[in-house]
Chains A and B, each alone.
Chain A
């Protein structure tokens, strides 16, 4: 360790430890926020259940998985109906936020998010296709992933200028590809009339259909995609120095971009497959974490996962208990103005 004897004017010696001093309390704070989101998310609704009873029900539900005991009354509501919805919210919120943070880092563009590059609208089109054609349940995320990868490839090739992806071109290409894909999705919805209600709710972002089966199908996508992105945190930090500098430090920049895009597409496709388009979470959460906790991706990505998961569960709670009805509407209605406020406040972002 660095000794203070080495640096008698020890004013600055607090600095190197600052990261380790502050990371854990902040992580703990966000974990508490996430836990509270889970408790309130499962407790509140048409039947209100006290937090203590929720924790008890969660425990009995977990135990019943091993003992095979029958769940009764409120335990059924908590374990079978509300908890999968909440867990899905955590998975989706975390995936979108980590992907947003990674996209912003890898393209060094504060406006990048899964939606801007056409990944999410591609996923939506793929998923809608699978729903309308009545493909097997587990194929929905696969179809979402395939179309997502195709659409992000189109966006990147449109935006590409030599080896670089200039922000304006990236945004323009993403907007165009996204619009085309959304139009195609709408056309599909209008054809598949008998499933129109499900598909329409889907395009507005809805956690309401989530059951344990959906959660278990999405989990590997979220874990794989986010896991890879978290491992790349230090390489992403290095990339912030600039492409040439990162390459001079031994980071193969093109390979890094490709892997981030694929990993983020996997996580986004999983997130979008069953719950649809949920806007602004992936854009805003990384900015909030960056403002509050710093820009290093080793902090940014994991904390974005925690905050994104918690915020989406709270947004869904608001959607269920208010006339806004769907979580995608809530995040867009609240997220849009919040982002504008952020833009005005931080001229630099």
Chain B
């Protein structure tokens, strides 16, 4: 649902909404929260609803970030969001109770929408298993390092060693639950080399994608989360061999034993490359 790269777009800006479909992000996160001034929350909701009706976002998952459940705006937000065709709601400063609240509202509306908790407080890092476990609608999470470091009262650096624990903790959790995890956005939109480094760091920890806060970041992130051709070719070779072996246990490729972890890795590679295992011939 979240894919390799999810692009934040302010729900208050028609120009940005208009162009958002043109970028190659796997998902778009329309923002009703930080990007929208308090006096413009009503206008942003209305604009977004009309936009989702009018514009075509074919092939992209639509996620809407509502205001935190500690604010006065979230109820109106969710009211609007539930009437749209969005794929998921992103809940900022998520707590287990927030996820349960939103989830039961969705249940009562017979909605198929998913929930993406935004993990950006010290408490929510500690409670991550309860947050993910709060609803089967949670198919992925986003780590928000800016608010997290603010909550911790520590300095946020570009190199990011101060968020290493939280970042790794969440990456572990997404794999424990088998869900997707978006790494925190890189906020210096001018620094593409820094973005590259930061993306690779998140990827090495186990994230499955990263949020972008500017369209210019999309291509870089997407490329880094898309497996290279060598990896894809090897994965295809593995899956072909699996099929030929027909469940006969262990076998080898080029003299190397192929066991369950290697097969699992090949599956993930193909998944990330958006290649269906059944389409391999």
B is bound to A = no
> Which B residues are within 8 Å of any A CB, using their own CB?
none
